[in-house]
Amino acid sequence: MSSELIYLKNITKSFDGQTVLDDLTLYIKENEFLTLLGPSGCGKTTTLRIIGGFEEPDKGVVLFDGKDITALPPNKRQLNTVFQKYALFTHMTIAENIAFGLKIKGKTKSYIDDKIKYALKLVNLDGYENRMPSTLSGGQQQRIAIARAIVNEPKVLLLDEPLGALDLKLRQDMQYELIRLKNELGITFVYVTHDQEEALTMSDTIVVMNQGYIQQIGSPEKIYNEPENAFVADFIGDSNIVDGLMIQDELVEIFGTRFACVDKGFGNNKPVDVVIRPEDVELVDPDKGQLTGTVTHLIFKGVHYEMEVTTPNGYEWLVHSTTCFPVGIEVGITVKPFNIQIMNKPASEDEEAVHVEE
């Protein structure tokens, strides 16, 4: 059973009078791949920097293995950080870059040589010891930065948007590399990204953040299929978020039409937000649909067609289907009950950024 390795308790942090983290509490388990996900300015990098010791919180404590490390400098913590900018020493060979931290720790030459070979093999760059960083591609430089962090045998590897500068294909390759490394090394990964697909691909646990608050914590499947609020639903993948009226348990009204659903406990005749993923909107003959509309936009995306279907009230439904429905055709819209996700409407704008406990 995984145990809690890092515990951030009631962390608050401000810069120039602006609160970036507001009473944030978070547990990170041992051997977990945890991703902090959110838009720019949501506080995810600040959270990572506080874990790493590069920032000190205004309030709150950071516990590591049960010990208070809030005021401990980065070099005294059992963790290493990999940044987006790689931060390799350009005047040193790859071997010298990897050995840097080990030399500071006073390790023997034979120990260091063994570790360099081991790390390069781990990141699939055998034989690169004598190369200079300038002769390597972006992906190779990033793997060297990871190798340099790994040889120090940290309990935790912090990664701050490490794949942001890479092209799409390389980024996808590196995602699989990181998953493999995490499984082989058995260390905890804390990863920062604003890329939803990256988070869904790699993580055991995703922490969705906005405006300094945690919006939701959960597995990729739970975050995608059961978003806690409209922000999470809108940020993770594409969604149709529409106004609904919860008539009673398992029955919701959307645009004047009643749909069976599986949600309960929202009360009777209560306004709600309804989330339906584009791949869960089924297009049928107009006379078989619960709603009708006209296809107004069509793009071929390779795996599926992406369409917009405009209903008479003017709402544009986003639809993903492997079947092509040409622009101008009238279609029916139907949705299976378990593909309809009901959420409480926030009472105010402020309530849209709330701390949601797991």
What pTM was computed for the model? 0.85
Mean pLDDT of 78-93: 84
Q: Is the residue at 67 inside a domain? A: yes
Do 106 and 220 share a domain, yes or no?
yes
Do 131 and 21 share a domain, yes or no?
yes
Domain enclosing residue 111, as ranges:
4-225
- pLDDT, one tens digit per residue, over 163-200 is 877 778 878 888 888 898 888 888 999 999 999 989 99
Mean pLDDT of 84-101: 87
Q: Is the residue at 232 inside a domain? A: no
Do 34 and 162 share a domain, yes or no?
yes
Do 32 and 168 share a domain, yes or no?
yes
Do 68 and 186 share a domain, yes or no?
yes
Mean pLDDT of 49-68: 96
**Total tally of structural domains belonging to the chain:** 2
Mean pLDDT of 117-122: 88
CATH number at 159 reads 3.40.50.300
Do 195 and 304 share a domain, yes or no?
no
AA letter at 297: H
Do 217 and 326 share a domain, yes or no?
no
Domain boundary among 160, 195, 225: 225
Residue of 258, 229, 253, 223 lying closest to 347 (CA atoms) = 229
How confident is the model at residue 350, as a pLDDT?
A: 52
Do 206 and 286 share a domain, yes or no?
no
Q: Is the residue at 245 inside a domain? A: no
**pLDDT above 70: residue 354:** no
- pLDDT, one tens digit per residue, over 240-256 is 999 999 999 999 999 99
Q: Which residues lie below 8 Å from residue 348, measured CB to CB, with a gap of 6+?
A: none
Q: Is the residue at 214 inside a domain? A: yes
Domain boundary among 225, 260, 295: 225
CATH number at 321 reads 2.40.50.140
Mean residue pLDDT of the chain comes to 91
Q: Is the residue at 150 inside a domain? A: yes
Do 210 and 326 share a domain, yes or no?
no
Do 12 and 139 share a domain, yes or no?
yes
3-state secondary structure the chain: CCCEEEEEEEEEEEECCEEEEEEEEEEEECCCEEEEECCCCCCHHHHHHHHHCCCCCCEEEEEECCEECCCCCHHHCCEEEEECCCCCCCCCCHHHHHHHHHHHCCCCHHHHHHHHHHHHHHCCCCCCCCCCHHHCCHHHHHHHHHHHHHCCCCCEEEEECCCCCCCHHHHHHHHHHHHHHHHHHCCEEEEEECCHHHHHHHCCEEEEEECCEEEEEECHHHHHHCCCCHHHHHHCCCCEEEEEEEEECCEEEECCEEEECCCCCCCCCEEEEEEECHHHCEEECHHHCCEEEEEEEEEECCCCEEEEEECCCCCEEEEEECCCCCCCCEEEEECCHHHCEEEECCCCCHHHCCCCCC
Q: State the number of CA atoms in the 13 A half-sphere of 191 facing the CB.
A: 29
Q: Is the residue at 274 inside a domain? A: no
Q: Is the residue at 240 inside a domain? A: no
Q: Is the residue at 166 inside a domain? A: yes
Do 188 and 78 share a domain, yes or no?
yes
Domain boundary among 176, 196, 225: 225
Place of tokens 């919006």: 215
232: exposed, middle or buried (Cβ count in 10 Å: 0-12, 13-18, 19+): buried
